[in-house]
A and B are shown apart, each in its own frame.
Chain A
């Protein structure tokens, strides 16, 4: 399936210049996103997945900045734009959903005020027309009786409903890309399933492209088309969801999948990745996963390149798990 590319990120580097040194939060990230596609961006805390999302939105604050690389949205270069140019873009062509919906919502304004403002910031239309569009957006994300809910304040909504409102706001100007940063992590399972259901429908119906940032491989498995796994600021593996989750190439992905409790090995010890993620301030010169990797050897002192190991799939590793060993289970 060939999709028209909406977003193309290449060799993106976002560094934070702190007193203690330069933290390379995002260090050479490249990926592309097609129309209607959901890309799962997976990683643990500190892997740079959120900073990647913020970089796409032009929301990196000092001491951080995009050092180099390019972000092309519909062929248009975003890196290096002045702040005013970002402002006309943000919310209109690329929007973001946060883990905590209260980051999007102003607690002292009614929902309709906030939504109408978001529309009229980008478009010169009447308040009535804007209100009508806000109502439609609420209905589209499955909020019952949207007419009444428009007049409510954020605190009158439950957590799941607030997240729906945040998604509705992101949808208002029909952006091409939505960056969703752990939007269901704080929600209960049944509510999470409701939100995932709405998102799945939206992408299929409208051709909206989505970057779904999460630490939860299982959610990615159910939702995404492709997945990119980040570790210490770099993408270590990417490819179609089925292929990556069934037969991961990179030892880190392999370890992550092994550490998800699954009924196949009920009651047995989980495969564990020893140690913890390195500090971004003191990354080793070679592969950053080498210190925790069971396959590491002298070759790993040199940074492996992201190489294509099978069509559409790449991994950044000198010793990838290739087909014959990829099924190896518990250690």
Chain B
């Protein structure tokens, strides 16, 4: 594990804008005041992921974790900021270089049914990309697909079937085989096990851990399930409304969360070893990302909020070696 990050995000933002439609433009011409709606899905996030590291990205729905995953995987271009792959800005790479870089970053989605083409046989789903990219020749494809399927624990004899002929867990394995087929260095797993049953989740999690060991893969593991992240990740990054609120080595974070939101989130994870507990939830809901609260986004729900919190957004600062948190309380 070297110290230079394999992948780094520098002040990456992603905004989604809903443009005005014709009627609204006419209203504006007539003296109305309709504005474009802007969602800051990801708001100046900086993050470095070292080779071989598993980073867990946690947050509730609407916090921007999936958007961030898509920016990392190259599905969305960032609205601002830079994505660096092995120290080089992806945006300034030449076409061929960029293709190589993006091929090394593969994504595994939540719903294996909607991410596999229902009209393609498994051998084409897995074999198409490596053939197109010239990783294997036409004659080798068949053996290569067999090897990939074995790698993820599927019987190669099933490769002429279609996705609908498989169970959820098997489909997810096909999705993983497809990602592995282009020999990636980095996997972005976006809620990849959320749709599976508990016993199947364990099987797929074990597969991810085996792959990491055997192939030296680096992961960005996006999940709302803190138990899973705790088990798998070396470092955990917690997002709230587009911003990173805390980032820390997994063991330290789970032992002693710093940010009030991280603490609230950890307190509320149902655990199998806590029984008949009294639930003491944080108040309120996640505000709309269209109109986020001023200052610290968490202040309306925070039990420790002070006047400063609604006026000024706290910076993400180092509070201990390797630990970052964005909270005014750390200023004493």
Q: Does B215 contact A (CB under 8 A)?
A: no
- Contact indicator B272/A245 (Cβ below 8 Å): yes
Chain B residues bordering chain A, tally (CB within 8 A): 45
Identify which of residues 153-195 in chain A touch chain B, using a CB-to-CB cut-off of 8 Å: 158, 160-161, 188-194
- Nearest CB on A from B240, distance (A): 10
On whether A270 and B224 interact (CB within 8 A), knowing A200-B279, A218-B270, A218-B271, the answer reads: no
- Contact indicator B199/A190 (Cβ below 8 Å): no
Which residue from chain B places its CB closest to the CB of A270 in the assembled complex? B202
- Nearest CB on A from B297, distance (A): 14
Q: Does B322 contact A (CB under 8 A)?
A: no
On whether A262 and B271 interact (CB within 8 A), knowing A218-B227, A269-B206, the answer reads: yes
Q: For B228, what are the chain A residues with a Cβ–Cβ distance below 8 Å?
A: 261
On whether A266 and B231 interact (CB within 8 A), knowing A160-B285, A273-B202, the answer reads: yes
Q: Which of B224, B270, B285 contacts A221 (CB 8 A)?
A: B270
- Nearest CB on A from B292, distance (A): 15
Q: Which of A188, A194, A273 contacts B60 (CB 8 A)?
A: A188
Q: Does B201 contact A (CB under 8 A)?
A: yes
On whether A44 and B224 interact (CB within 8 A), knowing A190-B282, A261-B232, the answer reads: no
Which residue from chain A places its CB closest to the CB of B206 in the assembled complex? A269
Q: Which of A160, A242, A263 contacts B230 (CB 8 A)?
A: A263
- Contact indicator A196/B285 (Cβ below 8 Å): no
Q: For B210, what are the chain A residues with a Cβ–Cβ distance below 8 Å?
A: 269
- Nearest CB on B from A171, distance (A): 18
- Nearest CB on A from B284, distance (A): 9
Identify which of residues 222-239 in chain B touch chain A, using a CB-to-CB cut-off of 8 Å: 224, 226-228, 230-232
- Contact indicator B60/A262 (Cβ below 8 Å): no
Identify which of residues 268-291 in chain B touch chain A, using a CB-to-CB cut-off of 8 Å: 268-282, 285-286
Contact with B along A82-103 (1 / 0, CB 8 A): 0000000000000000000000
Among A266, A270, A273, find the residue whose CB has the most chain B CB atoms closer than 10 A.
A270
- Contact indicator A193/B281 (Cβ below 8 Å): yes
Q: For A225, what are the chain B residues with a Cβ–Cβ distance below 8 Å?
A: 276
Identify which of residues 190-226 in chain B touch chain A, using a CB-to-CB cut-off of 8 Å: 197-203, 205-206, 209-210, 224, 226
Identify which of residues 125-164 in chain A touch chain B, using a CB-to-CB cut-off of 8 Å: 158, 160-161
Q: Does A71 contact B (CB under 8 A)?
A: no
- Nearest CB on A from B54, distance (A): 9
- Contact indicator A189/B272 (Cβ below 8 Å): no
Q: For A260, what are the chain B residues with a Cβ–Cβ distance below 8 Å?
A: 198, 202, 227, 272
Q: For B273, what are the chain A residues with a Cβ–Cβ distance below 8 Å?
A: 221, 262
Q: Does A306 contact B (CB under 8 A)?
A: no
Q: Does B45 contact A (CB under 8 A)?
A: no
On whether A272 and B197 interact (CB within 8 A), knowing A200-B278, A221-B274, the answer reads: no
Give bound CA distance, A45 to B272, whole Å. Answer: 20
Q: For A218, what are the chain B residues with a Cβ–Cβ distance below 8 Å?
A: 227, 269-272
Contact with B along A245-286 (1 / 0, CB 8 A): 100000000011111111101110111111011000000000
Q: Does B305 contact A (CB under 8 A)?
A: no
Q: Which of A160, A161, A200, A216 contacts B270 (CB 8 A)?
A: A216
Could you list which residues of chain B lie within 8 angstroms of chain A, going by C-beta atoms? 60-61, 167, 169, 197-203, 205-206, 209-210, 224, 226-228, 230-232, 250-251, 254, 264-265, 267-282, 285-286
Which 8 A-B pairs give the minimum distances between C-beta atoms? Answer: A259-B202, A261-B231, A197-B279, A218-B270, A193-B268, A188-B60, A44-B197, A194-B281
Known: A190-B264, A194-B281, A273-B202. 10 other contacts (CB 8 A): A190-B281, A197-B278, A197-B279, A217-B272, A218-B272, A222-B279, A266-B230, A266-B250, A269-B210, A276-B169
Q: List 12 A-B contacts (CB under 8 A).
A: A188-B60, A188-B61, A190-B264, A193-B281, A193-B282, A221-B274, A222-B275, A223-B276, A245-B272, A258-B202, A260-B227, A262-B227
